[in-house]
């Protein structure tokens, strides 16, 4: 197959729980502790250089108006400072990790270099995100935190592991650790064009998990037939749909409406407890559990709705997703008329990312089936806007979406 004819690959992942015995946990903990040393050493170097060369420039920047000549000159110095003084991933591979391994080969040499490189790569991504936020005027952005030595932290790598039959085999130099892969995840991995990466971590409830990232080939794209297009108008609690089967409104199940009042009750009870006390910890654990239940139930409902949409067809036109907390929107915290608090559950749903996650999941599953998702910005004049609100306007909105989209496709340039 010629290089230009190669199929596009799609990134996927599966995860499964493992049950290491005490001896395996000791080995994994030793590996984790060594990776904590690598993380903290690399982070210490980055933070020290940031505090020495970059932080003073940001303090100076606060003294000048944003678009002044002095401000622009300082921003140029900051950009140059990042390039000159903040080490890159490859800098730390060469000038930090390699010398560390030579100085203490017995310790660092007992862990595959691939795991140490991936630890540095993860740190690099986190630090680059922090620097990007700072450059974009988010002065509240914080650098990555150091890792505590008394906790188990993730082990990840792009090599130093393999799939052997129905087992996941992890190399630790000390010994090879084998963990069975459940049947469902094993069948998924059989579709893989290439295994890319693994991550072994411990959840809050002290259970161990392995996540494996892999690539699959995308199927050939299905032919586009305008008469079979499915139109979707999004809302926080429901969506309007027009498909070859007709018009309908699909309601989202909103677990946040059930759990948020209960979470608020627990938070009110926490106020009467001393922070860190046994009662406070018990109620904090209950709150975490409620948040987790909200997320799981929301995700399950989103998966079910996407599956039902894919039974209607494979080519979609959807309204543009609006983040309501953008400047000037109704949930803009800087607007004095709003008082800085979200206006009800619908605003909350569109700001937390759960709704955005639904759209991303739809795009991914459609792509896996060889379909397409086109996003269309629906701009309506004052006279075109439906009088009804919420669920009652979804059919009108999706009709307008189809009408405006078809008009845009018939424009001759």
Q: What is the DSSP string of 10-76?
A: EEEEEEEEE---HHHHHHHHHHHHHHHHHHHHHHHHHHHHIIIIIHHHHHHHTTS-TTSHHHHHHHH
Distance (Å, whole) CA 345 – CA 353: 13
With 80 as the cut, is the pLDDT of residue 155 above it?
yes
Distance (Å, whole) CA 110 – CA 142: 33
The secondary structure of residue 187, as a DSSP letter, is: H
Q: Which residues contact 82 (CB under 8 A, 6 or more apart)?
A: 54, 131
With 70 as the cut, is the pLDDT of residue 350 above it?
no
pLDDT value at residue 351: 44
Distances (CA, A) of 413 to 98, 225, 377, 405, 408: 59, 22, 19, 16, 11
pLDDT value at residue 199: 96
Distance (Å, whole) CA 217 – CA 199: 22
Other Cβ atoms less than 10 A from the Cβ of 255: the count is 19
pLDDT value at residue 170: 94
Give pLDDT tens digits for 239-285.
Answer: 899 999 999 999 988 888 899 999 999 999 999 999 889 999 999 99
The sheet with strand 176-180 has its strands ordered as: 161-164, 167-171, 176-180
Which residues share a beta bridge with 214? Answer: 12, 195
With 90 as the cut, is the pLDDT of residue 382 above it?
no
pLDDT value at residue 332: 46
Give pLDDT tens digits for 94-119.
Answer: 988 888 888 888 788 788 899 999 99
CA 392 to chain centre: 32
Against a cut of 0.75, is the pTM above it? no
Residue carrying the six token digits 């069948």 = 187
Q: What is the DSSP string of 203-267?
A: -TTS-EEEEEEEEEEPPPPPPP-GGG-EEEEE-SSEEEEEETTEEEEEEPP-HHHHHHHHHHHHH
The answer to whether 200 and 209 are in contact (CB under 8 A) is yes
Domains parsed from the chain with CATH numbers: 3-22+153-217 (no CATH), 24-135 (no CATH), 226-255+298-410 (3.30.420)
Confidence grade of residue 6 (pLDDT, cut at 50, 70, 90): low
Q: Find the length of the chain.
A: 413
Determine the 3-state secondary structure of 282 from DSSP. helix
Reading the block at residue 36, the tokens are: 């904590």
Confidence grade of residue 2 (pLDDT, cut at 50, 70, 90): very low
Confidence grade of residue 175 (pLDDT, cut at 50, 70, 90): confident
Give the CA dihedral 87, 89, 94, 95, nearest 10 degrees.
30
Exposed e or buried b per residue across 36-57, where buried means at least 16 C-beta atoms within 10 angstroms of its C-beta: bbbbbebbebbeebbeebbeee
Determine the 3-state secondary structure of 155 from DSSP. strand
Other Cβ atoms less than 10 A from the Cβ of 294: the count is 21
pLDDT value at residue 330: 45
With 90 as the cut, is the pLDDT of residue 185 above it?
yes
111-115, 159-163, 409-413: range with lowest mean pLDDT: 409-413
Distance (Å, whole) CA 399 – CA 243: 11
pLDDT value at residue 186: 96
Residue carrying the six token digits 């622009």 = 72
pLDDT value at residue 107: 80
Confidence grade of residue 353 (pLDDT, cut at 50, 70, 90): low
Distance (Å, whole) CA 380 – CA 400: 9
Q: Checking DSSP bridges between strand 167-171 and strand 155-157, what pairing results, if any?
A: unpaired
pLDDT value at residue 340: 42
């Amino acid at each position: 197959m010629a290089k230009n004819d190669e199929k596009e690959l799609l990134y996927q992942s599966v995860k499964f729980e493992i049950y290491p015995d005490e001896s395996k946990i000791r080995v994994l903990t030793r590996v984790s502790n060594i990776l904590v040393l690598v993380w903290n050493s690399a982070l210490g170097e980055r933070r020290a250089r940031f505090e020495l060369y970059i932080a003073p420039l940001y303090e100076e920047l606060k003294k000048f108006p944003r678009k002044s000549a002095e401000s622009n000159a300082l921003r140029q110095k900051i950009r140059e400072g990042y390039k000159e003084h903040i080490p890159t991933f490859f800098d730390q591979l060469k000038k930090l990790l390699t010398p560390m391994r030579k100085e203490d080969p017995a310790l660092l040499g007992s862990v595959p270099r691939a795991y140490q490189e991936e630890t540095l790569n993860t740190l690099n991504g986190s630090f680059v995100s922090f620097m990007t936020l700072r450059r974009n005027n988010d002065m509240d952005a914080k650098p990555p935190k150091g890792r505590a030595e008394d906790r188990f932290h993730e082990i990840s790598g792009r090599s130093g592991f393999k799939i052997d039959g129905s087992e996941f085999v992890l190399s630790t130099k000390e010994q090879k650790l084998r963990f069975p892969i459940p049947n469902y995840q094993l069948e998924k991995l059989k579709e893989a064009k290439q295994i890319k990466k693994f991550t072994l971590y411990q959840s809050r409830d002290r259970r161990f998990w392995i996540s494996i990232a892999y690539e699959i080939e995308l199927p050939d794209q299905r032919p586009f037939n305008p008469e079979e297009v499915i139109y979707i108008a999004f809302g926080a609690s429901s969506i309007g749909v027009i498909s070859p089967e007709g018009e309908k409104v699909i309601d989202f199940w909103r677990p946040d409406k059930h759990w948020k009042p209960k979470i608020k009750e627990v938070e009110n009870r926490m106020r009467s407890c001393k922070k860190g006390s046994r009662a406070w910890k018990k109620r904090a654990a209950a709150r975490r559990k409620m948040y987790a239940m909200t997320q799981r139930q929301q995700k399950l409902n989103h998966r079910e709705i996407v599956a039902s949409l894919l039974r209607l067809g494979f080519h979609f036109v959807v309204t543009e997703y609006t983040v309501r907390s953008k400047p000037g929107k109704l949930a803009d915290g800087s607007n004095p008329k709003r008082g800085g608090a979200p206006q009800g559950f619908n605003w909350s749903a569109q700001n937390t990312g759960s709704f955005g996650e639904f759209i991303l999941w739809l795009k991914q599953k459609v792509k896996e089936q060889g379909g397409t998702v086109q996003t269309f910005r629906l701009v309506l004049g004052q006279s075109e806007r439906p009088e009804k609100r919420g669920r009652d306007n979804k059919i009108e909105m999706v009709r307008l979406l189809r009408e405006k989209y078809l008009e845009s496709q018939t424009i001759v340039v």
